[in-house]
């Protein structure tokens, strides 16, 4: 059974930092591209950052220079370091694992940034 379990969300003031973690089980983690998505109220889910199995990364323009995605294949975990947070970063953040037609999601973790 595949599980992606996010943690690290919470309430933070604007300008602050949070580190999200996503622990994966039930998959061969190292061969999956791992991503972080977010969904704000009334908006569509959007890609925040992705890291491939070869450690290439890509970011949404809105988070470039502020967020960093990384992975630890020994721990089957992907991270999202979020710095200089803004109120518009408020959303539920979801972890995603993708390989070919295999696509898995976590349950999400709430990030709220107060002004």
Greatest pairwise CA separation for the chain in angstroms: 40
In DSSP terms, 39 is beta-bridged to 92
Cα separation of 108 and 35, whole Å? 12
Residue identified by tokens 């970063």 is: 89
Instruction: Please write the tens of the pLDDT for every residue from 68-110.
Output: 999 999 999 999 999 999 999 999 999 999 999 999 999 999 9
Give mean pLDDT, residues 24-52. Answer: 97
Could you give the percent of the chain with pLDDT greater than 90? 100
């Amino acid at each position: 059974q595949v599980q992606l379990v996010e943690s690290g969300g919470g309430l933070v003031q604007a300008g602050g930092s949070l580190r999200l973690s996503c622990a994966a089980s039930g998959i061969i983690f190292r061969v999956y591209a791992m991503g972080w998505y977010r969904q704000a109220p009334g908006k569509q889910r959007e890609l925040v950052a992705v890291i491939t199995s070869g450690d290439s990364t890509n970011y949404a323009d809105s988070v470039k220079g502020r967020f960093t995605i990384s992975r630890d294949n020994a721990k089957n975990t992907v991270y999202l370091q979020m710095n200089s947070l803004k109120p518009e970063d408020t959303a539920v953040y979801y972890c995603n694992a993708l390989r070919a037609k295999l696509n898995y999601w976590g349950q999400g973790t709430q990030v709220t940034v107060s002004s």
